[in-house]
């Protein structure tokens, strides 16, 4: 995931370069209105942002940008987010790849998206909520303070992720790893092996949370090996367990979860 992201980021940067380069070569100092031109901003968005925020801002690894934005209230705050990123999240800083002018144009385009009405997601959110209960998602995930801790909290999930990503998380969990969920398998010199997500690791100890939620803290000198399963997930795939309409309902429900996290 991360490796793929940075490769795409580089491609995105290269694509966006000519835009800024020509503007600078001409030494053009655009009038203020041109510097917040949403049409020019769309080009930057398509190259730099769409691989996370989806085409037309429909959402993916990053949130859907239609309707009211959580962090960004006006043009200036959108400019600030693009320049600085959002620390502690997957939203990167674009201060070095983008000029101030492209940043403003992109921000103007994002603002035009946020003014457009949110596009409806297919499916029925109420049925999705019932399905969430009956399928047992809550044994691993917490929503509004209730549920398990093996998977990430989902209370504000739609503010972080778009519908395409949510769908993928359910049918191919291993394809969409949020950070901090590396699956490891530790084999002790004696006793049963422990498999789960790595909670903590240093030179001497490793802590692993198993699928039941129990944290095991193991002395590394007592282990014969630790395997890091980069492509594994503790979450089962629901591809064969949910019908297509049920999957739509589940994604519709998750897309309503924009609360505090
Ligand atoms: C690597 C993925 C990624 C890329 C590339 C990316 N974003 Fe983001 N962006 C995110 C994520 C994830 C969040 C949500 C952060 C959070 O709150 O958890 C976000 C949040 C935002 C927000 C705040 C949304 C709100 O509700 O307030 C804006 C605005 C934004 N991004 C604009 C952009 C623009 C413009 C670009 C391109 C210049 C861009 N992003 C590129 C992942 C990305
Ligand atoms: C056995 C525990 C378990 C169950 C049951 C489970 N999940 Fe997960 N889920 C996880 C783990 C662990 C992750 C994070 C690691 C990963 O994606 O592989 C995750 C990730 C996710 C994500 C992505 C979160 C993010 O921040 O990117 C979503 C969405 C999700 N699960 C939804 C569901 C839904 C909906 C169900 C029920 C149909 C469900 N999960 C059932 C353990 C579980």
Q: Say which residue the tokens 């939620």 belong to.
A: 213
Tens of pLDDT along 18-33? 444 444 444 444 444 4
Specify burial of residue 99 (Cβ count, 10 A radius: 0-12, 13-18, 19+).
middle
Domain ranges of the chain: 2-115, 125-177+235-254, 183-229
- Predicted TM-score of the model (pTM): 0.78
Distance (Å, whole) CA 154 – CA 177: 14
Question: If pLDDT is split at 50, 70 and 90, which confidence band does 261 have?
Answer: very low
- Angstrom CA distances, 204 to 214, 218, 228, stand at 20, 9, 17
C-beta separation of 174 from 230 below 8 A:
no
24 lines ligand 2 (CB under 6 A): no
CATH numeric code, 183-229: 2.30.30
Tens of pLDDT along 39-87? 899 999 999 999 999 888 988 889 989 888 888 889 999 999 999 999 9
C-alpha dihedral sign at 28, 30, 36, 38: negative
Ligand 1 centroid – CA 47 distance (Å): 14
Q: Whose CA is nearest to atom 12 of ligand 2?
A: 151
* 155, pLDDT greater than 90: yes
Q: Say which residue the tokens 């095991």 belong to.
A: 216
Could you say which DSSP state residue 63 is in?
A: P
Q: How many residues does the chain have?
A: 261
- Angstrom CA distances, 53 to 72, 166, 189, stand at 15, 13, 46
Q: In sequence order, what are the beta bridge partners of 219?
A: 205
Helix axes 244-254, 163-171, angle to 10 degrees: 130
* Best of 48, 51, 52 for a ligand 1 pocket test (most atoms within 8 Å of beta carbon): 52
* 9, pLDDT greater than 60: no
233 lines ligand 2 (CB under 6 A): yes
Question: If pLDDT is split at 50, 70 and 90, which confidence band does 132 have?
Answer: very high
**Residues lining ligand 1, Cβ inside 6 A:** 5, 45, 48-49, 52-53, 61-63, 69-72, 78, 81-82, 86, 89-92, 94, 106, 110, 159-160
Q: In sequence order, what are the beta bridge partners of 197?
A: 183, 209
| Matching fold, domains 2-115 and 125-177+235-254 | yes
Ligand 2 centroid – CA 198 distance (Å): 16
C-beta separation of 91 from 221 below 8 A:
no
Question: If pLDDT is split at 50, 70 and 90, which confidence band does 160 have?
Answer: confident
Topology, domain 125-177+235-254: Cytochrome Bc1 Complex; Chain D, domain 2 (1.10.760)
Report the pLDDT value the prediction gives residue 35, as an integer from 0 to 100: 56
CATH class of 2-115: mainly alpha
Ligand 1 centroid – CA 131 distance (Å): 29
- Phi, psi at 137, each rounded to 5°: -60, -30
* Best of 140, 149, 253 for a ligand 2 pocket test (most atoms within 8 Å of beta carbon): 140
């Amino acid at each position: 995931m991360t490796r793929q992201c940075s490769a795409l980021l580089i491609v995105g940067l290269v694509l966006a370069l000519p835009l800024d380069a020509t503007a600078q070569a001409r030494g053009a100092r655009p009038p203020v209105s041109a510097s917040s031109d949403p049409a020019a901003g769309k080009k930057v968005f398509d190259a730099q942002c769409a691989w996370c925020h989806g085409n037309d801002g429909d959402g993916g690894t990053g949130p859907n940008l239609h309707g009211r934005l959580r962090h960004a209230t006006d043009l200036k705050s959108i400019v600030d987010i693009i320049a600085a990123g959002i620390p502690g999240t997957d939203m990167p800083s674009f201060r070095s790849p983008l000029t101030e002018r492209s940043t403003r144009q992109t921000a103007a385009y994002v603002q035009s998206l946020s003014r457009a009405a949110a596009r409806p997601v297919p499916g029925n959110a109420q049925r999705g909520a019932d399905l969430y209960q009956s399928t047992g998602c809550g044994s691993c995930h917490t929503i509004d303070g209730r549920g398990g801790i093996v998977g990430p909290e989902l209370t504000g999930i739609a503010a972080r992720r778009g519908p395409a990503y949510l769908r993928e998380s359910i049918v191919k969990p291993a394809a969409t790893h949020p950070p901090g969920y590396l699956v490891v398998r530790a084999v002790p010199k004696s006793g049963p092996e422990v498999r789960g997500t790595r909670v903590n690791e240093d030179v001497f100890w490793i802590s692993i949370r198993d699928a039941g939620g129990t944290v095991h803290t193991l002395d590394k000198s007592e282990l014969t090996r630790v395997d890091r399963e980069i492509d594994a997930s503790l979450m089962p795939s629901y591809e064969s367990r949910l019908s297509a309409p049920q999957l739509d309902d589940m994604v519709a429900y998750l897309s309503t979860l924009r609360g505090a996290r």
